[in-house]
Structure 1
Amino acid sequence: MTIDIQQLTNDFLEGDQDRAWDRIAEHKILMEDSHLTYEALTKAMQRVGKLWEENEISVADEHLATTTCDYVLSRYAYTRKLTSKNTNGPRALFLCIEQEQHYLGLKMISLLFQEYGWQTKLFGANLPLEHVIDTVEEWDASVVGISVSIMSHVERLNHYVTELEGLEKTPEVIVGGRLAAQYDLSKYCSKETIVVPNLDQVRLWLENRKGGDGHV
């Protein structure tokens, strides 16, 4: 893969949606392999995050980069004909816990599930627990993916996991996000919770599930 991550980062920061998309679309391998595409987008947004942490860019710059990356993800999904409505596929919903705003990684995971034939619902940022539970029960979701990126939110993560895994019809709970890659979150989860530090682990889980229960 020869895409220039620094140039892609600059496209995000400038809000240049078309140029950012062109950088992806001009590489055939990226249009054929979502893993490489998500990896490139993740690296670019990690650079944005580092610049923000070092006060090199403003909050407004970070928000513009996020919406530009979101556009590229949506256009990629449309071009690849990914769909959340895979008839007869198992059901998974994805959300950020309350007050958590970072959703791009979660969106990539949702799209990856779609590639494997799952029906998905992506709720994005800041979803209160009561709405999560209502949707799980009404929609009969078998998997709930939760993103957490800020350390002050991990106690809230524990509450989400406990309540979801205590439902009569218990969904599998998958926890990801920046903190999952940086810290051991096991004490905020249960033995049944699946913690995925990166997209490679998500893909591996999907491959194992594909071969294990015949749903996908």
Structure 2
Amino acid sequence: MINLSFPKELAGYLLEGNTAKAWKAIEQQKELSLLDTYHEIITPAMQHVGFLWENNEISVADEHLATVTCDFIISRLAHARLGKEKQHSRRAMFLCLEGEQHYIGLKMVNSLFKENGWETKYFGSDLPVEFVVKSAEAWNPEVIGLSVSIVYHLPKLNEYITELGKLPKPPVIIVGGRLSEHYDLRPYCSENTIILKDLIEMRDWLKNEQTTSKQDAAF
């Protein structure tokens, strides 16, 4: 069981930019699955960093340092847990809307898809819609994950979903990010858009998708 103070301890190392201590702290919980490490440790640690920033207890420079340090830890963790890249038949793309800079959650989702046997392309933050459409046309992903965390970007969310729906083979659109926990995003989405509030819902969707795929393959 995770000590409730552990994520705050990790947040302190991230704010220091201390990758060695942050990684050692993560390694102490190596019995946890990749999902549990993300959900129970890294996510609450970064939420604490966000809380400190919103309350002016740290500067934007501190928040950026914590984010970059966390990025390094996620990359190292994924490399350690996932091993060598493999070729898979199912494809997924992940990106933040234009103007969106909060990409840590999206990066964790990308790793979870890889762990579940998907080939992925992770584009990170701030990708304009025209480049998303071109990449999707060229690569033909089955799923595209979009992250949105700022309220005034919601009209852009609708634009992305509309444009991707015009593709010859429209992908499944999954929407997540901080806004998905607190706002009703449905008015900005199509009827077929999947809105997921956290990594647990993402895990459940992946499990269901794997089960459906196996059933389809049996016929």
Sort the TM-score into its range (normalised by shorter chain): over 0.9
In structure 1, the residue matched to 2:164 is 164
In structure 2, the residue matched to 1:104 is 104
Whole-angstrom distance in 2 between the partners of 1:60 and 1:82: 33
In structure 1, the residue matched to 2:17 is 15
TM-score by length of 1: 0.95
In structure 2, the residue matched to 1:149 is 149
SS of aligned partner of 1:106: helix
In structure 2, the residue matched to 1:59 is 60
2:91 is the counterpart of 1:77: no
Q: CA deviation at 1:89?
A: 2.8
In structure 1, the residue matched to 2:195 is 195
Q: CA deviation at 1:140?
A: 1.1
Kindly indicate whether the alpha-carbon contact (under 8 Å) linking 2:146 and 2:173 is maintained by their aligned counterparts in 1.
yes
In structure 2, the residue matched to 1:119 is 119
- Map Cα deviations across residues 101-146 of structure 1 (whole Å, 9 max, x no partner): 0000000000000011000000000001111011111011111000
Whole-angstrom distance in 2 between the partners of 1:150 and 1:86: 35
Whole-angstrom distance in 2 between the partners of 1:16 and 1:187: 42
Percentage identity across paired residues of the two chains:
49
Residue 68 of structure 1 aligns to which amino acid in structure 2?
Answer: T
Residue 15 of structure 1 aligns to which amino acid in structure 2?
Answer: G
Whole-angstrom distance in 2 between the partners of 1:82 and 1:189: 36
Number of residues paired by the alignment?
213
Residue 80 of structure 1 aligns to which amino acid in structure 2?
Answer: R
- In structure 2, runs of 5+ residues without a counterpart are none
SS of aligned partner of 1:122: strand
Kindly indicate whether the alpha-carbon contact (under 8 Å) linking 1:165 and 1:172 is maintained by their aligned counterparts in 2.
no
Residue 197 of structure 1 aligns to which amino acid in structure 2?
Answer: K
SS of aligned partner of 1:202: helix
Whole-angstrom distance in 1 between the partners of 2:67 and 2:83: 21
In structure 2, the residue matched to 1:27 is 29
Kindly indicate whether the alpha-carbon contact (under 8 Å) linking 2:100 and 2:150 is maintained by their aligned counterparts in 1.
yes
SS of aligned partner of 1:28: coil
SS of aligned partner of 1:203: helix
Kindly indicate whether the alpha-carbon contact (under 8 Å) linking 2:196 and 2:202 is maintained by their aligned counterparts in 1.
yes
Whole-angstrom distance in 1 between the partners of 2:128 and 2:56: 31
Residue 176 of structure 1 aligns to which amino acid in structure 2?
Answer: G
Residue 81 of structure 1 aligns to which amino acid in structure 2?
Answer: L
In structure 1, the residue matched to 2:8 is 6
SS of aligned partner of 1:197: coil
In structure 1, the residue matched to 2:213 is 213
- In structure 1, runs of 5+ residues without a counterpart are none
Segments ≥4 residues shifted beyond 2 Å: none
Residue 21 of structure 1 aligns to which amino acid in structure 2?
Answer: W
Distance 1:82 1:197, change over 3 A: farther
Q: CA deviation at 1:82?
A: 4.6
Kindly indicate whether the alpha-carbon contact (under 8 Å) linking 1:82 and 1:114 is maintained by their aligned counterparts in 2.
no
Whole-angstrom distance in 2 between the partners of 1:212 and 1:81: 24
TM-score by length of 2: 0.94
In structure 2, the residue matched to 1:178 is 178
Q: CA deviation at 1:10?
A: 0.3
